[in-house]
Amino acid sequence: MNQMKDNNKNLILGIETSCDETAAAVVANGMMILSNVIASQINLHAEYGGVVPEIASREHVKSILPVIDRALSDADISLDDLTAIAVTYGPGLVGALLVGVSAAKGLAAATGLPLIPVNHLEGHIASSYLADPSLEPPFLCLIVSGGHSSLVEVLDYTCYRTLARTRDDAPGEAFDKIARSIGLGYPGGPLIERASEGGNSDAFYLPVTHFSDSYDFSFSGVKTAAINAYRKIEREAAQEGRDWPLSCSQADFAATFQASIVEALVKHTEAALIDTGYKTLVLGGGVSANKKLREVMREMTDSIGVRLIVPLPVYCTDNAAMIASAGYFAWKDGRRAALDLNAVPMAELEEIIGQSTREGETR
């Protein structure tokens, strides 16, 4: 089927295996999703309360080829119809990344198609082009996930400057840790979100960390404070002979914890928006699926006259459509990887590998 090519559409196959989702997708011109296949391993890791890297790699090996086949068949195309193959090369778990990178290299070698290396975070940024095709850089993006909390200036489609990052834990990591500590399971974010419904978000004190000289985030303090508060609550509950004491239900605990994470994210983002003057804010990453965060961020952006773009929840968490979208802009920019492309577990947004035709861009 060559209809899309006949219409001058450039079809990119995106491949994503940086953590616990094996994903492949086909996207036309960076904005139109033709297929989006995600094989989640959440149930396998839930038993251990978090992602087990060895299990993740083995599952990616099992799923990668069927997932790619399915992405092509759902899009009703063959490999011949593709323009390029984009793959996440980092950051992420090295053994997990290598599965996607190896599959992409194999396909590129077999077909002669260009291989486009994509940074996972630029994928999370690109998910907003899928949400709103009218979006154009420059804008500010808050990426909040299991591994990251970054405020990024998106200067152009492939040019980024990180304004702030977390100095310790990522917010998703804090959600996951607290959910595990109070026996909710994994992944913590959606479980805390559900548990918080109807709860009092001011049930006890939790610190919100700010730095006077930067917009950086820190979530280890609130994580420890929440665990200490939970131990106190457990003691009270034992004295009262209940699961949770009358003074603080599970809903109150979850709502209070969630509110403190949301407050830190919203306050720092507001300060950065006011200081930099950006008129568009974009959210990305698994934690941006959180309803409370979306609601409070919307109130804040409305109050200061900033346009907010938030992807649908399925495009906030890891997926390959966002990698195909970012891959399209990188392809247009001339970025290419050779067949010796390797996984880079600590890859930085400002040091994306591959050659570019752009002048003056950091490589």
Residue whose CB is less far from Zn ion, 145 or 269: 145
Chain centroid to Cα 106, Å, comes to 26
Assess contact for 96 and 119: CB atoms under 8 A: no
Interaction partner, residue 245 (Zn ion, ligand KG4, none; CB < 5-8 Å by kind): none
What are the residues whose beta carbons fall under 8 Å from the beta carbon of 242, sequence distance 6 or more?
Answer: none
Per-position DSSP letters for 324-351, written without gaps between them? HHHHHHHHHTT-B--TT----TT--GGG
3-class secondary structure, 169: coil
Residue whose CB is less far from Zn ion, 256 or 319: 319
Interaction partner, residue 123 (ligand KG4, Zn ion, none; CB < 5-8 Å by kind): none
Helix (H) or strand (E) holding 265: helix 250-276
Count Cβ atoms within 10 A of the Cβ of residue 303 and give its class: 0-12 exposed, 13-18 middle, 19 or more buried: exposed
For the bound state, the minimum distance from the C-beta of residue 32 to Zn ion, rounded and expressed in Å, comes to: 22
For the bound state, the minimum distance from the C-beta of residue 184 to ligand KG4, rounded and expressed in Å, comes to: 11
- Longest CA–CA separation in the chain, Å: 72
Q: Which of 209, 227, 224 has its CA nearest to residue 167? A: 209
Interaction partner, residue 119 (Zn ion, ligand KG4, none; CB < 5-8 Å by kind): none
For the bound state, the minimum distance from the C-beta of residue 294 to Zn ion, rounded and expressed in Å, comes to: 17
For the bound state, the minimum distance from the C-beta of residue 251 to ligand KG4, rounded and expressed in Å, comes to: 15
For the bound state, the minimum distance from the C-beta of residue 125 to ligand KG4, rounded and expressed in Å, comes to: 12
For the bound state, the minimum distance from the C-beta of residue 120 to Zn ion, rounded and expressed in Å, comes to: 6
Interaction partner, residue 188 (ligand KG4, Zn ion, none; CB < 5-8 Å by kind): ligand KG4
Residue whose CB is less far from ligand KG4, 125 or 154: 125
Interaction partner, residue 287 (Zn ion, ligand KG4, none; CB < 5-8 Å by kind): ligand KG4
| Cα angle for residues 229, 232, 237 (degrees, 5° grid) | 125
Interaction partner, residue 175 (Zn ion, ligand KG4, none; CB < 5-8 Å by kind): ligand KG4
Residue whose CB is less far from ligand KG4, 12 or 287: 287
Residue whose CB is less far from ligand KG4, 20 or 81: 20
What are the residues whose beta carbons fall under 8 Å from the beta carbon of 101, sequence distance 6 or more?
Answer: 87, 88, 89, 341, 342, 343
Residue closest to ligand KG4 (Cβ) = 189
Which spans of this chain sit near Zn ion (rule: CB under 5 A)?
Answer: 145, 318
Rounded to 10 degrees, the C-alpha dihedral 98/285/74/60 comes to 30
Characterize the bridge pairing of strands 149-156 and 84-90: unpaired
Residue whose CB is less far from ligand KG4, 82 or 282: 282
Per-position DSSP letters for 295-330, written without gaps between them? HHHHHHHHHTT-EEE---HHHHSS-SHHHHHHHHHH
Query: How many residues are there in the chain?
Result: 363
3-class secondary structure, 27: strand
Interaction partner, residue 14 (ligand KG4, Zn ion, none; CB < 5-8 Å by kind): none
For the bound state, the minimum distance from the C-beta of residue 147 to ligand KG4, rounded and expressed in Å, comes to: 4
Which spans of this chain sit near ligand KG4 (rule: CB under 6 A)?
Answer: 19, 145-147, 172, 175-176, 187-190, 193, 285-287, 289-290, 317-318
For the bound state, the minimum distance from the C-beta of residue 221 to ligand KG4, rounded and expressed in Å, comes to: 18
Residue whose CB is less far from Zn ion, 18 or 63: 18
Interaction partner, residue 187 (Zn ion, ligand KG4, none; CB < 5-8 Å by kind): ligand KG4
Residue whose CB is less far from ligand KG4, 95 or 286: 286
